[in-house]
Structure 1
Amino acid sequence: MTTTLRWGLLGASTIAREWMIDAIRSTGGDVVSVMSSDQDRAAAYAEANRIPHPTTDLDALLGEVDAVYVSTTNELHHDQVLRSARAGKHVLCEKPLALTVGEARDMVDACRAAGVVLGTNHHLRNAGTHRAMREAIAAGRIGRPLFARVFHAVYLPPHLQGWRLTSPGAGAGVVLDITVHDADTLRFVLADDPVEVTALTQSAGLSQGDVEDGAIGAIRFRSGVLAQFHDAFTTAHARTGFEVHGTDGSLIGTDCMTQRAIGDVLLRTASGEELLPIDRSNLYERSVARFTAAVAGDGEPAATGEDGIWSLAVAAAALESARTSRVVAIDPVQSTTKVSQ
């Protein structure tokens, strides 16, 4: 295996078109095939994105690639990753990995048994803003962290609304779309694991049926840090942010919960205020580069399969908390709660 990977796209998706195809190509990979359940869609997508081989047949795609990028709807991830692993293909899978923690664990175990790399495409931990915050905390610049706050309430654009608002069986809702990112970014920045969560969800009219389009909650971490999250599909005029407050200072990140390499981080202490230097590298290019290096035996993906299990476990616990009105323990090992319920 060389670091020049032949990639197949499982899903003719918007995220692949807008971000991942260019990221793969810019890091030396070659996108050779795309699979869709609809042959006409696969053909049109392939032509528009200069991909040689459109298909509706997963086995056909697996026969001509080294790695797959999985961005199908959430309920399809489990089977597609297992089949890819059995075929000896490396896998970079969108979040959430699956609809239950048990299914996600199956995927991690299958890839490990097959000797292939599994990465979760949690792009936000590749942002320069969050890496700068993690480094500042590790260096003790805010003392002992006490609290964190994530503001990730946005407006879901019309071209992405579809199943995310209407299809519980596919893993619809803001918790699986956004709260999983909050959970992963908090784990990454704090270098800490969550233990319990309490949450409330909202259906404000954009979503349908029992699908939530807003959520707010709090997570307790092993160190004692309390973290607040506010997520939505319905707020057109909000700004995103990520803050960590410690005994000796605060880190205030603005406009940083985004796919773009933007945002700033202010360090505020008794000595005054300082804007941290930020690496403006493309988040997805860094993700693909880290994944490609892992395939070549150099380190791990930016977010591993285990990281994907943790973020899914937080989402499952948050939805269970909203359903039962109680604090729910976060269990990345045993939980089998189906998060679409």
Structure 2
Amino acid sequence: MPVRWGLIGATVIAREWMIDAIREAGGEIVSVMSTSTERGKAYAEEFGIPLAVTNLSNLFASGVDAVYVSTTNERHRAEVVAAAEAGIHVLCEKPLATSLSDARDMVLACRKAGVVMGTNHHLRNSATHIASRDIIRSGRIGRPLSARVTHAGYLPEHLQTWRLKDPTAGAGAILDLTVHDADLLRFILEDEPETISTLTQNSGMAAEGIEDAALSLIRFRSGLLAHLFDGFTTRYARTGVEVHGTDGSLFASDCMPQRPSGTLTLRTADGDEEIVLDHKNYYVRGVRAFHDAMAGKGAPPSTGEDGLISLAVALAALESAKTGQTSAISTGLDS
């Protein structure tokens, strides 16, 4: 029997990626919630979703096994906690919330209820990044010493809304992009971030007081230093991830978009080796793993706890940019 999903939010990311991913992974979407009756009905009709509702109670009553939460970030806490209390599994968009206390409440509510909680950090499901992690784990680059992430491009016009204007919803490049970088580096390096120093930029795309680009330096527990550049304003930037070790380096290019893409080169004393990659849809792979976790087979690619850590990094980056000082990274949650 397919997993029955409810969508909390009639959103762009669900439209562009998650509806197809849930269905391709074998799930069934039975309901969608929007606070606008007209928008919800139109959305349900467009995507062949049987039921459109305007509140959580009716969504939960539609017989859903899991919910996908993709509303604006300040709404996540109430929606995730309500789903957990109803005994429903939760896949939530990043960042989990706009405060650590809200994100902690979400993680603890899911723990208490015994439901699976995943954070939709899709980049963990990229063939490029999985191969990078496996190569590092195998020791082929020796001890990792430094890393660099470029996660910059041009924010599409249809997304130039709350991300550029509404700080209460989690606007800015840091909460939108740096959270991904933090989670991805933890995944690839299997190391934990401890401190961060950040400078921000407003080039005029975002409202005053909101960053549309940021440059950060993270020190990891091993001593590794990672340099991150995140931004909404560079139309022609090439995304990439580099990891440099004592015995080799990895160069991943064009590897940060939502669509499956990327090349990976391993450079050692033997020369350059192009790594063969089997690209698959990141979101489909993530939903399949989430279904497995619901069935008691493993964990989601990125858990609620992982989402809490990536949020802690982003909030520490914002604090560093505000104070001009290096910020410590802590979730305030025991393992």
TM-score, structure 1 as length reference: 0.96
Q: Does 2:100 correspond to 1:94? A: no
1:221 correspondence with 2:220 = yes
Residue in structure 1 matched with residue 76 of structure 2 by the alignment: 77
Letter in 1 for 2:132: M
The answer to whether structure 1 residue 61 and structure 2 residue 59 are counterparts is yes
In structure 2, give the amino acid aligned to 1:53. Answer: L
The question of 1:330 aligning with 2:333 is answered no
Bigger mean CA deviation after superposition, 98-107 or 137-146: 98-107
Q: Distance in 2 between matches of 1:56 and 1:209?
A: 33
Give the structure 2 partner of residue 339 of structure 1: none
SS of equivalent residue, structure 1 residue 230:
strand
Distance across 1 between alignment mates of 2:202 and 2:53: 37
Corresponding residue for 1:118? 117
Q: How many angstroms apart in 2 are the aligned matches of 1:53 and 1:209?
A: 40
- 1:48 partner amino acid: E
Q: Deviations over 1:95-154 (max 9, x none)?
A: 011111121111111011111100000000110000000000000010100000000011
Runs of 4+ in structure 1 displaced over 6 angstroms? none
Which residue of the partner structure matches residue 126 of structure 2?
127
* Same amino acid, percent of matched pairs: 60
Q: 2:32 corresponds to which residue?
A: 34
> Which residue of the partner structure matches residue 301 of structure 1?
300
Q: Alpha-carbon deviation of 1:209?
A: 2.3
The superposition leaves residues 179-218 of structure 1 with CA deviations (integer Å, 9 ceiling, x where unpaired) of 0000000000000000000000111100002111000010
Separation in structure 1 between the aligned mates of residue 44 and residue 98 of structure 2, nearest angstrom: 29
Partners of 1:173 and 1:219 in 2: how far apart? 19
**Matches of 1:46 and 1:144 in 2, distance apart?**
51
- Please give the secondary structure, in 2, of the residue aligned with 1:331: coil
C-alpha separation between the residues in 1 aligned to 2:209 and 2:83? 33
Question: 1:337 aligns to what?
Answer: none
The aligned runs of 1:134-149 (5 Å cut-off) are 134-149=133-148
SS in 1 for 2:219: strand
Instruction: Report matched runs for 1:162-311 at 5 Å.
Output: 162-311=161-310
CA distance in 2 between counterparts of 1:35 and 1:212 reads 31
Residues 46-100 of structure 1 show CA distances to partners (whole Å, capped at 9, x for unaligned) of 1111111111111100112110000000000000000011111000000011111
Distance in 2 between residues matched to 1:287 and 1:115, nearest whole Å: 20
C-alpha distance in 2 between matches for 1:117 and 1:258: 27
Shift of 1:279: 2.2
| TM-score relative to the length of structure 2 | 0.98
Matched, 1:158 2:151: no
Unpaired stretches in structure 1, ≥5 consecutive residues:
335-341
How far residue 320 of structure 1 moved from its aligned partner, in angstroms, is: 0.2
Structure 2 residue matching 1:164: 3-state secondary structure: helix
Provide the rounded CA distance (Å) in 2 between the counterparts of 1:153 and 1:121: 19
Identify unmatched segments of 5+ residues in structure 2: none
